[in-house]
Amino acid sequence: MLPSMNKLLEIYRRLYCAFGPQYWWPGEAPFEVAIGAVLTQNTNWGNVEKAIENLKREKALSAKRIHEMRTGRLASLIKPAGYFNIKAKRLKAFIDFLINEYNGSMERMKNEEMQTLRVKLLKIHGIGPETADSILLYALKKPVFVIDAYTKRVLSRHKIMGHEENYEKFQVLFHTALKKDIRLFNEYHALFVRLGKTHCKTKPICGGCPLEGI
């Protein structure tokens, strides 16, 4: 076993011991998770919740309703999540795809072969690797590891991989080192985010960090 494999397991163990299970994704239905995945791009989750609340209040949290809605109207509802004009277009693009390819059904989308689906998702305007993988893992329960800014920060600071390496390379590391376990991938990524919220924002290794000494 490579040293990096041991490190990844040790990091997970420490984070889980420190923070416990995170029970992601906070949105219940797969469709809501997918919408949240777009809205949370470079955005605090609290703001995303406000935007989703607006959609729920207007009974607009469905593929059909958002599909029928004007982009400007959608933008005004998701305003708290920031970048609202861009994200309105991105949500529209995702829902066009969902309706055209799967008749608006996340369940049908889930039946698609994973790699095929991932390639299709990445072709949608506004869906990059992290958003695609968040949808695959958290909405559709597919075993893919989600890489984000926190993941890169932690791994580069612990000299496991250079920060400049691309998304796929980080992902391959996790896919190679870990068992392809949905529950594990779910918690691990969520724990990285949990760590990033309170630790090591400015200093490479802060005091009281669960990862101290790795």
Partner DNA sequence: GACCAGGCACATC
Partner DNA sequence: GATGTGCATGGT
Task: Give the position of tokens 């990445």.
Answer: 122
Q: Which is nearer to DNA, 5 or 50 (CB)?
A: 50
Are the beta carbons of 152 and 166 closer than 8 angstroms? no
**20 interacts with DNA by CB under 7 A:** no
Q: Which is nearer to DNA, 64 or 123 (CB)?
A: 123
Are the beta carbons of 80 and 51 closer than 8 angstroms? yes
In whole angstroms, how close is the CB of 170 to DNA at the nearest point?
12
3-state helix, strand, coil in the chain (%, to 5): 65, 0, 35
Are the beta carbons of 154 and 11 closer than 8 angstroms? yes
For residues 192 and 189, what is the distance between their CA atoms, to the nearest angstrom?
5
**182 interacts with DNA by CB under 7 A:** no
Q: Which is nearer to DNA, 5 or 148 (CB)?
A: 148
**98 interacts with DNA by CB under 7 A:** no
Q: Which is nearer to DNA, 44 or 176 (CB)?
A: 44
For residues 142 and 185, what is the distance between their CA atoms, to the nearest angstrom?
10
- Taking residues 123 to 162 in sequence order and writing x for each that binds DNA by CB under 7 A, - otherwise, the string is -xxxxxxxxx-x---x---------xxx------------
Are the beta carbons of 160 and 3 closer than 8 angstroms? no
Element (H, E) at 147: none
Task: Give the position of tokens 């529209």.
Answer: 92
Stretch that binds DNA, among 1-9, 18-26, 103-111, 154-162 (CB under 7 A): 18-26
**45 interacts with DNA by CB under 7 A:** yes
Residue 32 to residues 36, 55, 66, 99, Cα–Cα distance (Å): 6, 10, 12, 15
* Joined tokens for residue 104: 């608006």
In whole angstroms, how close is the CB of 1 to DNA at the nearest point?
29
Size of the site for DNA (CB under 7 A): 41
For DNA, which residue of 8, 11, 34, 41 counts as binding (CB under 7 A)? 41
Q: Which is nearer to DNA, 26 or 210 (CB)?
A: 26
Q: Which is nearer to DNA, 14 or 41 (CB)?
A: 41
Binding site for DNA (CB under 7 A): 24-26, 36-37, 40-47, 50, 79-80, 82-87, 124-132, 134, 138, 148-150, 193, 196-197, 201-202
